[in-house]
Structure 1
Amino acid sequence: MRRLFDEELADLDSSFTEMGMLVSQTIQKSVQAFVDHNRETAKLILDNDYRINEREAAIEKKTFEMIALYQPVTTDLREIVTILKAVSVLERMGDQARNIANSTIRVKGTKHVPEIEAKLGDMGEEVASMVSEVMSYYVKDDAIGAEAIAAKSRDLAKKAGQVRLDAVNGMKEDAELVDSAADYLVIAGYLKRISDYTTDIAEWIVYKRTGKIIELNPGSSFFI
């Protein structure tokens, strides 16, 4: 029985990690599509969104089945609960990538600010890297490394705030920038929210490793 449980848990870990990598790639592609004004790539992201949702549903189903069948305790149970909780966070990250793709499709023929879009592109790369990094901490069972994600999330929030300031100033100076600037605001908000989600996963990694429920970035759930 133990051997079967270990094999299924290893498969569950692998599925969860693969979903994390898929979400990271999707975030990166969605932001790049926005920066490049690539509506075709954005449409592909929307068309493939179901894959993330299906993976979440399959992983959740597997966790419930394993809890019911094997009735795990202590560290085994914490690992399954961590995946159950964190997989829904990954799905919400995918939702934000989908929102960015929707913004790319919606905006057409508006005036742009390359400097702000470059900042958003850098933020997208950084956030995608944070997702990959937090998944590696999960694989390595590294609670200390996971906690370090919180500092990166706070730094990303500052960058989102700067984009907000730039966008607002742009609207004040040029009325033709209103549509684009509004999108810059929401894209920065989406990316900030994804960075918050990486912290949420980090908190569950700490729980998996120590059994303690902590809050790494208290009071930082504002949009941008």
Structure 2
Amino acid sequence: MVTRQSYDQELADLRQALLNMGKAVDQAIDEAVISLAQQDSELARKVMDSDDEIDQMEIDIEDKCMVLIARQQPLARDLRIIGTGLKITTDLERMGDHAYDIAKIALAMNKQSLIKPLVDIPRMAQMAQKMLKDSLEAYTTLDITLAEQVCLNDDEVDHIYYQVFRELLTYMMEDPTTISQATQLIFVARYLERIADHATNIAEWTVYLVTGQRRRKK
């Protein structure tokens, strides 16, 4: 029979695996946006190649969770730890997908002159990445206050997204030759907005982990 000490170590290993996946996703987001801003095709390809590694991390974590459930038949708090682990890894994998999508757009645009300097999109990326880091910190330390702050920060990212959308729409209306690139940049902004949403999900799952109560969505 597995001792409680051994079981606690397995739960700690699960948490560490999630943090490692989070770091990989954060790096992919960062490099995807840099590849876009600097029109760096090699870096964009690196991000796209790394998506398989992130997907494998998700599979490994899911397998770890299934083994823990089958072998330990956890109840109450332990079950919430494993259940939130499954939910969080799904959000992280989707963030990785969005980083891949941004890198794909960067690769497609690598020979185009940018219609405007990229200011708000990198700012969105920085905010979304901070939300990701803070949500994982809240998960690790069981800090509900930090988790709630992540949820509040999502509104600011949404605001910048709509600002970017309106600005790029104006470019398209004034100059039809910008439509293709402006549309792609709107997609990038949307992917970053969705990354922030997934960080919010992680924060909400942290609140559930600690309290057993689901945070009511707006």
Q: TM-score range by the shorter chain?
A: over 0.9
Equivalent residue, structure 2, for 1:202? 203
Contact 2:95/2:198, CA 8 A, preserved across alignment: yes
Equivalent residue, structure 2, for 1:86? 88
Could you tell me how far apart the structure 2 residues matched to 1:110 and 1:215 are? Answer: 44
Contact 2:151/2:204, CA 8 A, preserved across alignment: no
Q: Which amino acid aligns with 1:205?
A: T
Could you tell me how far apart the structure 2 residues matched to 1:6 and 1:37 are? Answer: 46
Equivalent residue, structure 2, for 1:98? 100
Does residue 1:130 correspond to 2:168, yes or no? no
Contact 1:96/1:191, CA 8 A, preserved across alignment: yes
Contact 2:171/2:178, CA 8 A, preserved across alignment: yes
Could you tell me how far apart the structure 2 residues matched to 1:22 and 1:88 are? Answer: 14
Q: Which amino acid aligns with 1:113?
A: I
Could you tell me how far apart the structure 2 residues matched to 1:2 and 1:25 are? Answer: 35
TM-score (normalised: structure 1): 0.93
Contact 1:28/1:124, CA 8 A, preserved across alignment: yes
Q: CA deviation at 1:108?
A: 3.8
Q: Which amino acid aligns with 1:212?
A: Q
Could you tell me how far apart the structure 1 residues matched to 2:103 and 2:211 are? Answer: 38
Contact 2:40/2:110, CA 8 A, preserved across alignment: no
Q: CA deviation at 1:204?
A: 0.5
Q: How does 1:38-187 map to 2 (within 5 A)?
A: 38-115=40-117, 117-187=118-188
Q: CA deviation at 1:29?
A: 1.0
Contact 1:52/1:94, CA 8 A, preserved across alignment: yes
Q: CA deviation at 1:77?
A: 1.1
Instruction: Please list the CA deviations of residues 15-37 of structure 1 after superposition, one character each: whole Å capped at 9, or x if unmatched.
Output: 11111111111111111111111
Q: Which amino acid aligns with 1:195?
A: A
2:119 is paired with a residue whose SS is helix
1:114 is paired with a residue whose SS is coil
Equivalent residue, structure 1, for 2:8? 6
Q: CA deviation at 1:107?
A: 1.7
Q: CA deviation at 1:112?
A: 1.6
Could you tell me how far apart the structure 2 residues matched to 1:18 and 1:175 are? Answer: 44
Q: Which amino acid aligns with 1:190?
A: Y
Match of 1:22 among 15, 21, 24: 24
Count of matched residue pairs: 216
Give me the identity figure in percent.
Answer: 32
1:214 is paired with a residue whose SS is coil
For structure 2, list consecutive stretches of 5 or more residues without a partner in the other structure: none
2:207 is paired with a residue whose SS is helix
Could you tell me how far apart the structure 1 residues matched to 2:148 and 2:102 are? Answer: 27
Contact 1:24/1:129, CA 8 A, preserved across alignment: no
Contact 1:111/1:180, CA 8 A, preserved across alignment: no
Equivalent residue, structure 2, for 1:221? none
RMSD: 1.1
Could you tell me how far apart the structure 2 residues matched to 1:151 and 1:37 are? Answer: 33
